[in-house]
């Protein structure tokens, strides 16, 4: 089962050019620098619908904008707002759109100068919009393949920066995996160690412990990755060993799972046509999934600081 696509609506509210506008009213010139050269950065933030409370629970909102600011700094993009202001703008967009379903928030900052020439000079623009988003991938078991495309090295395109242009690397690997009948691709580094999946960090459970590639393995330092490590240590008494991982360690693992804002916690049950463990979702991934969704929907009392609630007023009453 391939990943799903979720479409934005032109009638929904967004933030662009320093003001709230309808998404369909935003226009960009084809000469926009970021469109020609990939000079933009973005974030992906989830807001989970809590039916019993009538609220959206925005997960790790500040942490995402802190990483967003660092991405902008690396690419010499000037943000027009503080992190606190970005958080409040995002909450106001959600109040205006009032979605009563799980929702994805996309902040995007980019070089907006309309000129031809590869450099990092010129002005910047900020846009924030939302789309409805349920499960991006199957959460009971993915079939993956090691990609023939290597992960872009941090010294070529910084892995710590969520740059729009760097996702060409992802698109090539995902397309090849899908054409071969797999759900997703797993990257190796230039040195041949496991890096991450196409757009998610990777964990394996082996010999009674959790393992994940280190930040030096050309990975994006995932916010969901940090959350999973926190849950594993606090709730399962299982600290995570951050170290280099060989390709065949994945085949020998009892469990493998992917983590990310889009992927959430997605077990991998097969890699390169080899079953992982029993070939079904394992108990560690299953338990972490339960804990994660409880925290993400604001229903776990020990992790209330993970989310910001937004009361949703039906659009007809606004």
Lowest mean pLDDT of 19-23, 136-140, 191-195, name the range. Answer: 136-140
What is the arithmetic mean of pLDDT over 160-169?
Answer: 96
What is the arithmetic mean of pLDDT over 309-315?
Answer: 85
Determine the topology of domain 13-134+309-317 in CATH: D-amino Acid Aminotransferase; Chain A, domain 1 (3.30.470)
Q: Is position 162 annotated as part of the catalytic site?
A: yes
Coil vs helix vs strand at 1: coil
What is the arithmetic mean of pLDDT over 172-186?
Answer: 97
Burial of residue 89 (CB within 10 Å: 0-12, 13-18, 19+) is middle
Per annotation, catalytic residue among 4, 70, 162, 275: 162
Lowest mean pLDDT of 2-11, 134-143, 175-184, 193-202, name the range. Answer: 2-11
Q: Is the pLDDT of residue 3 over 80?
A: no
Q: What is the pLDDT of residue 316?
A: 41
Domain with CATH 3.30.470.10 in the chain: 13-134+309-317
Q: Nearest 5°: phi and psi at 121?
A: -90, 170
Mean pLDDT of the chain: 95
Portion of the chain with pLDDT greater than 70, in percent: 97
What is the arithmetic mean of pLDDT over 199-203?
Answer: 97
What is the arithmetic mean of pLDDT over 222-234?
Answer: 98
Q: What is the pLDDT of residue 2?
A: 52
Domain spanning 142-300, CATH architecture: Alpha-Beta Barrel (3.20)
Higher pLDDT, 136 or 2: 136
Q: Could you count the other beta carbons within 10 Å of the beta carbon of residue 150?
A: 16
Q: What is the pLDDT of residue 8?
A: 85
What is the arithmetic mean of pLDDT over 252-256?
Answer: 98
Cα–Cα distance for residue pair 129/77, rounded to 1 Å: 19
pLDDT tens string 128-159: 999 998 888 889 899 999 999 999 999 999 99
Cα–Cα distance for residue pair 163/77, rounded to 1 Å: 11
Burial of residue 114 (CB within 10 Å: 0-12, 13-18, 19+) is middle
Cα–Cα distance for residue pair 177/181, rounded to 1 Å: 6
Element at 194 (helix H, strand E): strand 194-197
Lowest mean pLDDT of 67-81, 126-140, 193-207, name the range. Answer: 126-140
What is the arithmetic mean of pLDDT over 237-243?
Answer: 98
Q: Is the pLDDT of residue 318 over 80?
A: no
Reported confidence tier of residue 317, pLDDT bands at 50, 70, 90: very low
């Amino acid at each position: 089962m391939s990943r799903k696509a979720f479409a934005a609506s032109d009638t929904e509210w967004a933030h662009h050019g320093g003001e709230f506008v309808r998404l369909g009213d935003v226009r960009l010139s084809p000469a926009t620098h970021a469109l020609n050269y990939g000079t933009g950065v973005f974030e992906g933030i989830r807001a989970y619908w809590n039916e019993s409370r009538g609220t959206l629970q925005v997960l790790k909102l500040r942490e995402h904008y802190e990483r967003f600011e660092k991405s902008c700094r690396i690419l010499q993009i000037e943000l027009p707002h503080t992190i606190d202001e970005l958080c409040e703008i995002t909450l106001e967009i959600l109040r205006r759109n009032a979605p009563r379903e799980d929702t994805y928030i996309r902040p995007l900052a980019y070089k907006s100068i309309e000129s031809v020439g590869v450099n990092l000079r010129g002005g910047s623009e900020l846009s924030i919009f939302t789309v409805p988003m349920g499960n991006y991938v199957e959460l009971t078991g993915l079939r993956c393949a090691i990609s023939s495309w290597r992960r872009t090295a941090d010294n070529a395109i910084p892995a710590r920066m969520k740059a729009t242009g760097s996702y060409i690397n992802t698109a090539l690997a995902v397309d090849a995996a899908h054409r071969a009948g797999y759900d997703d691709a797993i990257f190796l580094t230039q040195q041949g160690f496991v890096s991450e999946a196409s757009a998610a960090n990777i964990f394996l459970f082996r010999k009674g412990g959790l393992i994940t590639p280190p930040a030096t393995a050309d990975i994006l330092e995932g916010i969901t990755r940090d959350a999973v490590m926190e849950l594993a240590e606090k709730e399962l008494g299982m600290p995570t060993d951050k170290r280099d991982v060989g390709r065949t360690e994945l085949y020998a693992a009892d469990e493998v799972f992917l983590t990310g804002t889009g992927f959430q916690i997605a077990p991998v049950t097969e890699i390169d046509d080899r079953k992982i463990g029993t070939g079904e979702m394992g108990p560690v991934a299953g338990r972490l999934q339960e804990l994660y969704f409880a925290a993400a929907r604001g229903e776990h009392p020990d992790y209330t600081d993970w989310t910001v609630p937004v009361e949703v007023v039906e659009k007809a009453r606004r």
